[in-house]
Amino acid sequence: MRLALADELAKQQRSISVAEFFEKNKHLLGFDSPTRGVITTIKEAVDNALDACEEAQVLPDIFISIKKTGPDIFRIIVEDNGPGIIAAQVPYVFGKLLYGSRFHQIRQTRGQQGIGISAAVLYAQLTSGLPTVVISRTGAKEPAHRFEIQIRIETNEPDIISEQPFDWDRTHGTRVQIEFKSTMSAKKKLLEYLRYTSVVNPHARFRVELDDESFTFERVSQEVIACPVAIQPHPHGIEFGQLKRMAAASDQKLADFLVENFSRVGKKTAQEMGERAGLKSTVKANGLSMDELKSLLSAMQAVAVPAPPTSQCLSPIGEELIRRGLDKEFQMDFVAARTRPNSVFSGHPFMVEAAIGYGGKLPVEGNAILLRFANRVPLMYQQGACAITECVANINWKSYNITQQGLPVGPVLILVHVASTNVPFTSESKDAIASIPEIEKEIVLVLQDLGRELKNFVSRRDKNKQAEDRARAVCAIIPEIALKVSEIVEKPVVDTTPIEGKLMRKMIAKKSSRGGKVTIELANYSGYDGEISVYDISADPAVDAVPKADFVSEIDGQFTKVWKVTVPSKEVWRAMYTGKGGGLLDIRGIDDSRKMVVDLDV
Amino acid sequence: MSREELEKKSMAALLGIASAWYDQMKTGEIPSISLPTRTKYNIEFDDASEVWKYGDRESMRTAASAKSATHLLKMAYVIGFIKQQLSENRSSTLREMYYISEGWKRAKFSAQDESNFLIEDLEILSEVPREGFHLHPEENGASIYGPMRIREETRRGMKTIHCQDDVGQAGYTIPNNVENIEFVDHDAKFVIAIETGGMYDRLIENGFDEEFSAILVHLKGQPARSTRRMLNRISSTWDLPVLVFTDGDPWSYRIFASVAYGAIKSAHMSELLATPRSQFLGLQPSDIRDYNLPSDKLTEKDVEALNAELTDPRFATDYWKKQISLQIDMGLKSEQQAFAARGLDFVTKKYLPERLSEMGII
C-alpha cells in the first residue's frame, strides 16, 4: 500500500524550470497585477538601458511609448541609444530567465540577476500570446537585427520565432517592443516613476508617448557618469557557496588564493587567516575539503580586514546634481543635498545620499513626499516595509520645527538614495530595502544633518517674515492709529516717522494710492546716503509723474518706471503720478538687509 | 454711581487711553497697552469682597507686529465710536457695533467674539462696566416676580413698577442696564434664583412668592450679566439672602458658582456681578436619594465635570465635597422639575419649606 503511494507520488515528482516557477509566482517579480505589469516592464527596460549607456559612456536618450492595440492589450516600446547587443546574445538576454552580465560582478548596477526583462517577455506571452520584438544594433558598421522572441517555459530556453536584418536609422542602441494585457490606470504612478528616475539620472533624457500625450524629462547634466568599476569580493561579505566555487576554480596555494582573489587581503592577513583555520599557507586551494573550507570561511570572517575599496565600485549622484535634478522636477523654496562617505555592511560597500526640499509648490497638507532610491532606481511600492521609511519616521522632526505624524507633515520632500554593490532588498521584486543597522545609521545621520539645515532655513525665513510683519505694522498701521487717536484727543495729527526711523534703521520704500494719485516714498533711515534705483512695475503709465521717471518701458500693458535718485541719510524722497497703484515696487543699489518695501494699499 | 458720573468716568478713562497713546507716539515710542491676563490661571480670591478677581499677571500689547498694531487700531476705533456715542447720548447693542465696524476698513472686526472681547478689555482698562459706554447685549435679561417695587429710568421717562401688582404673569423683565434702576421698597424675606422657566412658573402659579414673601428670579440657564447684577444689587441694597435653585447636575452647580463667586470671563466685574451671600438651595444630590426622585444616569462627561469640581477652589467646602462624592457614588442626576413626580404642589408645599427651614431662612 505504502509502496503504491510512493510510486504514485514519484510519477508526479519532476524538476521545475525557472520559467515555470515564475509563471506561477508572478508577484515575486512585480507582475502581480496587469496595472503593475506596465510599470515593472518599463522599469526593467529603462534600468537595462541606463546601465548599458553607462557602460558605453554615452548620454542616455530613452524613448518610451505605450499604445493601446486592442481591448486591454497594450504595446510598450522602450528604445535607447546604448551600445546595442550582439545578435547572438539577443535571444538569451530576452528569452532566458536568469541570464545576465552583471550578476557575477561586484559593483553598483541597477539590474542584477537578469530576470527583469525576460520576465516581461514571459508575461507578454502568457497574457497576449504575442512574441516580443527586439531590434538592436551595435555600431554604424554593423547591420541592425530584428528578432521575434518567446521563452520555452518548460526548459527556460529562448524560442526564436523570426530573425532578420533590419534597416534601422539609429547607429547603435536597442529597441524592445512588448505587448501584453494591462490597463492604464497606473498612468500617474508611471509618470511619477519616470519623474523620479529623471531626478536621480540627471544625465538622461526621457521622451514619453502615452497614447496621444507626450512628455519630456530633460537632462540637466551633460556629463556622462563614471561607470562603477567591479571589485573583488571582500572576505567579510562572502558566503560558503561562493568560496567553494572560487576555491575549486583555483590552482593556487592558499595564501596566494586569498591575496589575489579577495580585496584588501595582504600576505600578512592571508597568513593569519590560514593559521586561524589551522591550514598551511602552501596547501592548494582546490584541494581543500568541505570542513577545511568551513573553518577557512569562519577564519576569513574573524580576522580584521580593512573595509573594501568603495570609491570606484559605487557611483553617487552627487549633491550638486541631486539639487539640480530636484529643482527641475519640483519647484521648491529650499533644497539641500548630502552625500555620506562610503561605508560597508557585511563586506558590501554602500553609500547613502539624501536631500530635503521645502516649500514652493509642494503640497502644504498631508505627509511629506518621500522618494526612495536604490542604485539610482526609484522604489515605487511597499513604502511602509522599507528601512528608509522607518528611519524617516524614527527621526524626531519636531526638533527641526517640522510637524510630524509618523512621517513628517507639510510641504517637505525627502529623497534618500542607497547605493551598494549588493542592495539588501526585502524581496525579489526590489520594492523595499531591508533593515540593516549599518545602512539605517547612515540614513539617520544624513537626514539629521539635512534636518538641521532645513531648520536654519525655516527660522531664517520666519525671521524675514517677522521683519516684514513689523514693517507693515510700523509703516502702515501705526500711522492709522496716529490718525484715529489724534482725532479722538482733538490734537494735530502726530507724526509717526520718528517711530519708523527708530525701529527700522533701513531705507523704506512705500507705495500708496489715494484719490486716484499714486505716491512712492523713500525714507532713508539707513544711516547712509543712498544712491538708489526705484523700480515700479504696474498698469499705470505714469506719464504725469513728478519727478519724471528716468526710464519707462511697457510689456503687455505693464509699465516699468525707473527713477535713479540720491536720498541723503534721514531724508525723504517722493514721486507722485495719476493711477491706480498696485503692482510691484522694488529698490536696488542697497543691500537687501538694509531695505524694506511696503505696499500700503495691501 | 449716577448715570452722569458713570458717563463722565468712562469718557475720562477712554480719553486717557487715547492720550497715553498720543504721547507715546509723540515721543517716538511705539504705542502699547498692558492688560491683566484673562485666563483661569490668573484668578484670585479676594478676601475683602469675597469674590474671584484677576490676579497680578499682565500682558503687554505693543504695536510692533501687524497683529498687535491692528488690535490697537481696532481699540482706537472703538474708543472713537464710544466717544461719539456718549456725546450724542445714543446707545447700541454689541452686535450693532460689530456691524458698524464694517466701515472701519483695516480696523473691521472679523467676528463678534472679537469685538465683545475688546469691549471687556476696555471695561478692565477703564474700570467702567460696558453700560457706561452705552453698549449692551442684544439678548434681554431674565425676569423677576415678587413683593418689591423699583423705579426704572426708561427712554420714555421714569416708571415705578411693583413686581407683583404691575406686571403680567411672566414678571418684570430685567433691563440691560440695571444701573438705571432705583430700588424703592420691598416686603420680602429672601430671594430664590431659579434655573429653569418651568420651575419659575410653577412657583408663581402656586403662589409661593406671596405665601413666603419671596422674590423669584428666573436665571434662564447660565445667567446674563444683567441678571447677576440685579441679584447683586437686590442682595446688597436690601440685605436679603439669595438662594440658588437649579437642576441636580454638575453644570448647574457651575451656575451657582458664577452667581456666588463670579466667572472667569468677567472677573474684572466680580465685585459688581457676584453675590457672595448667595447659598445653594438645591437640587442636592442627597435630595435625589432622600425624595427618591426620578433620575438619569451620569454620563462620562458629567463624572469628569464632577471630578473637576472636587479640585475647584470654589467648591472646596465640606458641604460640596460630601454632596459631589455622594453624586458620583450614586451615578445619578435629576432635574428640578422631577419633583412633579410627587405631585405639582410637592415642591412648594413640602420640599422648599423643609429645605428653607433647614437652612434657617424661614
Residues A477, B19: C-beta atoms closer than 8 Å: no
Q: Give the per-residue pLDDT at A261.
A: 83
Among B75, B90, B78, B80, residue whose Cα is nearest residue B134: B90
Q: Considering only alpha carbons, which residue of chain B is nearest residue A601?
A: B106
Show which of B102, B121, B136 is a domain's final residue: B136
Q: Considering only alpha carbons, which residue of chain B is nearest residue A491?
A: B22
| Mean pLDDT across chain B | 90
Residues A480, B28: C-beta atoms closer than 8 Å: no
Tell me the average pLDDT across B84-93.
90
CA distance A404 to chain B (A): 28
Pull the grid cell for residue B68.
498687535
Is A474 touching B (CB cutoff 8 A)?
yes
Q: Give the per-residue pLDDT at A207.
A: 92
- Are B126 and B191 found together in one domain? no
Note which residues in 201-240 of chain A have CB less than 8 A from chain B. Answer: none
The strand ranges marked E within B163-297 are 172-173, 181-186, 190-194, 214-218, 242-245, 279-282, 296-297
- Are B114 and B170 found together in one domain? no
Question: The domain spanning residue B240 has which CATH number?
Answer: 3.40.1360.10
- Are B228 and B329 found together in one domain? yes
Chosen for mutation from A480, A483, A504, A601 (greatest number of chain B CBs closer than 10 Å) is A480
Q: Considering only alpha carbons, which residue of chain A is nearest residue B84?
A: A488
Among A298, A237, A233, A236, residue whose Cα is nearest residue A262: A233
Position A361, amino acid: K
Cell 584588501 appears where?
A264
Query: Is residue B135 within 8 Å of residue B119, measured between CB atoms?
Result: yes
Instruction: Classify A238 as helix, strand or coil.
Output: coil
Is A493 touching B (CB cutoff 8 A)?
no
Is A486 touching B (CB cutoff 8 A)?
yes
How far apart (Å, rounded) are the C-alpha atoms in residues A207 and A209?
Answer: 7
- CATH architecture for residues A320-458: 2-Layer Sandwich (3.30)
pLDDT tops 60 at residue B258? yes
Chosen for mutation from A463, A470, A484 (greatest number of chain B CBs closer than 10 Å) is A484
Q: Give the per-residue pLDDT at A602.
A: 64
Q: How many domains does chain B have?
A: 2
Residues B66, A477: C-beta atoms closer than 8 Å: yes
Instruction: Classify A534 as helix, strand or coil.
Output: strand
Least confident of A527-531, B98-102, B316-320: A527-531
Pull the grid cell for residue A353.
545620499
B241: confidence class by pLDDT, cuts 50, 70, 90:
very high
How far apart (Å, rounded) are the C-alpha atoms in residues A182 and A211?
Answer: 14
Pick the CATH number of A235-302 from 1.10.8.50, 3.50.50.60, 3.40.50.720, 1.10.3720.10: 1.10.8.50
Identity of the residue in A470, A488, A494 whose CB atom sits nearest the CB atom of B83: A488
Q: Give the per-residue pLDDT at A1.
A: 52
Angle (CA) A225-A229-A232 rounded to 5° is: 160
Show which of B77, B109, B136 is a domain's final residue: B136
CATH superfamily of A18-217: Histidine kinase-like ATPase, C-terminal domain (3.30.565.10)
Q: Give the per-residue pLDDT at B148.
A: 96
Residues A481, B19: C-beta atoms closer than 8 Å: no
Residues B73, A480: C-beta atoms closer than 8 Å: yes
- Are B155 and B183 found together in one domain? yes
Q: Give the per-residue pLDDT at A306.
A: 79
Residues B65, A488: C-beta atoms closer than 8 Å: no
Pull the grid cell for residue A86.
550582439
Show which of B136, B151, B168 is a domain's final residue: B136
Position B233, amino acid: R
Is B77 touching A (CB cutoff 8 A)?
yes
Identity of the residue in A474, A481, A502 whose CB atom sits nearest the CB atom of B21: A481
CB-neighbour burial class of residue B111 (10 A; exposed 0-12, middle 13-18, buried 19+): exposed
Chosen for mutation from A462, A485, A491, A495 (greatest number of chain B CBs closer than 10 Å) is A485
Identity of the residue in A469, A481, A499 whose CB atom sits nearest the CB atom of B66: A469
- Are B132 and B147 found together in one domain? no
CATH 2.60.40 given to domain A505-599? yes
How far apart (Å, rounded) are the C-alpha atoms in residues A100 and A118?
Answer: 10
Is A485 touching B (CB cutoff 8 A)?
yes
The arrangement of strands across the sheet holding A213-217 comes to: A157-166, A144-152, A132-137, A173-181, A73-80, A61-70, A205-210, A213-217
Q: Give the per-residue pLDDT at A453.
A: 92
Q: Give the per-residue pLDDT at A15.
A: 63
Residues A473, B29: C-beta atoms closer than 8 Å: no
What φ, ψ does residue A468 adopt, rounded to 5°? -65, -40
How far apart (Å, rounded) are the C-alpha atoms in residues A247 and B84?
Answer: 103
Pull the grid cell for residue B354.
423643609
Query: Is residue A61 within 8 Å of residue A205, measured between CB atoms?
Result: yes
Burial A484-518 (b: 16+ CB within 10 A, else e): bbbebbeeeebebeebbbebbebbbbbbbbeeeeb
Catalytic center residues of B: 99
- Are B318 and B229 found together in one domain? yes
Q: Give the per-residue pLDDT at A111.
A: 60
- Are B216 and B130 found together in one domain? no
Angle (CA) A594-A597-A600 rounded to 5° is: 145
Query: Is residue B136 within 8 Å of residue B176, measured between CB atoms?
Result: yes
Residues B28, A469: C-beta atoms closer than 8 Å: no
Q: Give the per-residue pLDDT at A572.
A: 86
Identity of the residue in A472, A485, A489 whose CB atom sits nearest the CB atom of B66: A472
- Are B236 and B194 found together in one domain? yes
CATH 2.60.40 occupies which residues in chain A?
A: 505-599
Position B151, amino acid: R
- Are B51 and B147 found together in one domain? no
B47: confidence class by pLDDT, cuts 50, 70, 90:
confident
- Are B111 and B71 found together in one domain? yes
Pick the more confident residue, B137 or B151.
B151
A175 sits in which H/E element: strand A173-181
Q: Give the per-residue pLDDT at A461.
A: 84
Q: Which are the contacts of B27, defined by CB distance < 8 A and separation ≥ 6?
A: none
Is B31 touching A (CB cutoff 8 A)?
yes
How far apart (Å, rounded) are the C-alpha atoms in residues A255 and B108?
Answer: 89
Is B66 touching A (CB cutoff 8 A)?
yes
Instruction: Classify B2 as helix, strand or coil.
Output: coil
Among B139, B142, B154, B141, residue whose Cα is nearest residue B95: B139
Note which residues in 36-65 of chain B have CB less than 8 A from chain A. Answer: 63-65
Position A176, amino acid: V
Measured between beta carbons, which residues in chain A are less than 8 angstroms from residue B80? 484, 487-488
Q: Is the dihedral of CA A167, A170, A174, A179 positive or negative?
A: negative
Is B26 touching A (CB cutoff 8 A)?
yes
Q: Give the per-residue pLDDT at A16.
A: 63
A68 sits in which H/E element: strand A61-70
Q: Considering only alpha carbons, which residue of chain A is nearest residue B21?
A: A485
pLDDT along chain A (602 residues), means of 10: 68 66 69 78 86 86 89 88 85 72 61 68 83 88 88 81 86 89 81 88 89 85 75 80 82 85 84 85 82 86 78 80 87 90 83 92 88 89 88 90 88 92 80 89 93 90 78 82 92 84 77 88 83 90 91 90 90 91 87 79 68
Identity of the residue in A482, A484, A496 whose CB atom sits nearest the CB atom of B80: A484
Residues A494, B31: C-beta atoms closer than 8 Å: no
Pull the grid cell for residue B289.
436619594
Query: Is residue A173 within 8 Å of residue A67, measured between CB atoms?
Result: no
CA distance A446 to chain B (A): 37
Kindly write down the DSSP assignment for every residue of A354-414, as one continuous string. Answer: EEEEESTTS-SSSBPEEEEEETTEE--S-GGG-HHHHHHHHS-GGGGT--EESEEBSSEEE
Cell 467648591 appears where?
B315
Is A470 touching B (CB cutoff 8 A)?
yes
Q: Give the per-residue pLDDT at A98.
A: 61
B27: confidence class by pLDDT, cuts 50, 70, 90:
confident
A553 sits in which H/E element: strand A551-555
Is A467 touching B (CB cutoff 8 A)?
no
How far apart (Å, rounded) are the C-alpha atoms in residues B355 and B327?
Answer: 19
How far apart (Å, rounded) are the C-alpha atoms in residues B198 and B160?
Answer: 28
Q: Give the per-residue pLDDT at B194.
A: 96
CATH 3.30.230.10 occupies which residues in chain A?
A: 320-458
Q: Are strands A369-374 and A377-378 parallel, antiparallel or unpaired?
A: antiparallel
Please tell me what DSSP assigns to residue A549.
Answer: P
A294 vs A242, A274, A279, B30, CA distance in Å? 12, 12, 12, 83
pTM higher than the cut 0.80: no
Measured between beta carbons, which residues in chain A are less than 8 angstroms from residue B30? 474, 478, 499, 503
Domain with B110 in it: 3-136
Residues B25, A474: C-beta atoms closer than 8 Å: no
Residues B63, A478: C-beta atoms closer than 8 Å: yes
CATH 1.10.8.50 occupies which residues in chain A?
A: 235-302
For residue B283, say if its preceding peptide bond is cis, omega within 30 degrees of 0.
Answer: yes
- Are B115 and B148 found together in one domain? no
- Are B115 and B199 found together in one domain? no
